[in-house]
Amino acid sequence: SLVDKANYRHFMAKEIHEQPEVVGHTLARYVDMATERVSLPVTLPFDFKDIQRINITACGTASYAGIVAKYWFERFARVPVEVDVASEFRYREAPLRKGDLAIFISQSGETADTLAALRYAKAEGAHTIAVVNVPTSTIARESETVLQTLAGPEIGVASTKAFTCQLMVLANLAIAAGKARGELSDEDETKLVHGLVEIPRLMSDALTTELQIEKLAHRIAKSRDVLYLGRGTSYPLALEGALKLKEISYIHAEGYAAGELKHGPIALIDETMPVVVIAPYDRVFEKTVSNMQEVAARGGNIILMTDAKGAAEATVESLVTIVMPDMAAAFTPMVYAVPVQLLAYHTAVVMGTDVDQPRNLAKSVTVE
């Protein structure tokens, strides 16, 4: 059945490994493979040309998918995006203009704060899109437009495959917005879609880092704190890495924008502190390298996640370098999510925690 662990020790392991497949299914729903164009499964009841601002609202891991999407919408479609956690958005009385677009991201479609935020946005007259995994959920039923993620049932409390499927849907929506607004040409679109089509295979490649990460997990398990750094779309992934680690291994972790290092977390760095640096060779790579040098100078233990080019050009001694496949820079979060999830998973296994049912956490937070 869909909801057994197959040969895996935990649902979370199974769900991490399923990602190439379910992200591929999601891709096939949103892209016309024959023409290599984005083809949304529903007709939007508005024109992206008329949208002046987008609000994205979600909780937990889904909110980090929202931050990645902000970078995509702003880059591909030149439309300003605000991202909020739902518990803040719902009580802030955020001014929404009638006809603006509000996007809600939720695996379960039942998160109380996200649902309340959706109801607020509807009452303000905004167009609403729900990116949800459960099509029969309350959030799916109540939003104007539903864009489904095809992750299948997610059982592990800590979200993994739902996150990468959310990213796949949002990438397509951002490309559609860029096209509609005249910011992307047909050629740009084809190039971006080519990049998306590669993702499932790249995720499979990323899974081959597992043995190396399993070894690394034994070191991470001895740490009191772990810092995650990234820039650009790797910044929300740093937030997600830290969240995943604390949720299931109970080791304190923080995610930071690499450029903010010197505004605080650098004070924490010493020889006992692992620093996970997510740095694909992209347009901000050099900037991240200079942050790594600051960490190295203070004796921090760098765990670098990068590609072959980045590994060759990083002029810093790292404890471990996890070499990721070469790929289009725009979509690295979907692929780099894999080692980030594996590191949290294996650390939790070493710690002997209840990986699928971590203490104090619920899969779906249906009460405030």
Residues lying near ligand G6P in the complex (CB under 6 A) are found at 59-62, 106-108, 111, 114, 157-159, 361, 363-365
Residue pair 149/172 in contact by the 8 Å Cβ criterion: no
Residue pair 162/60 in contact by the 8 Å Cβ criterion: no
Q: Rounded to whole angstroms, how far apart are CA atoms 245 and 16? A: 14
Q: Is the CB of 59 or the CB of 277 nearer to ligand G6P?
A: 59
CB of 240 to ligand G6P, least distance (A): 9
Q: Is the CB of 17 or the CB of 179 nearer to ligand G6P?
A: 17
CB of 51 to ligand G6P, least distance (A): 24
CB of 14 to ligand G6P, least distance (A): 16
Q: Is the CB of 96 or the CB of 243 nearer to ligand G6P?
A: 243
Q: Rounded to whole angstroms, how far apart are CA atoms 227 and 160? A: 20
Report in angstroms the alpha-carbon separations of 193 from 36, 118, 139, 253.
Answer: 6, 30, 28, 34
- HSE, side-chain direction, 13 A CA sphere, residue 317: 6
Q: Decide: helix, strand or coil at residue 345.
A: helix
Two structure tokens written together for 299: 């004796």
Of all residues in the shown chain, the one whose CB is closest to ligand G6P is: 60
Q: Is the CB of 132 or the CB of 261 nearer to ligand G6P?
A: 132
CB of 104 to ligand G6P, least distance (A): 9
- HSE, side-chain direction, 13 A CA sphere, residue 258: 27
CB of 69 to ligand G6P, least distance (A): 14
Q: Rounded to whole angstroms, how far apart are CA atoms 322 and 227? A: 16
Reply yes or no on whether 363 is catalytic. yes
Report in angstroms the alpha-carbon separations of 288 from 65, 183, 306, 326.
Answer: 21, 28, 11, 18
Q: Which of 5, 122, 191, 363 is catalytic?
A: 363
Strand partners, 357: none
Q: Is the CB of 85 or the CB of 328 nearer to ligand G6P?
A: 85
Q: Which residues are catalytic?
A: 363
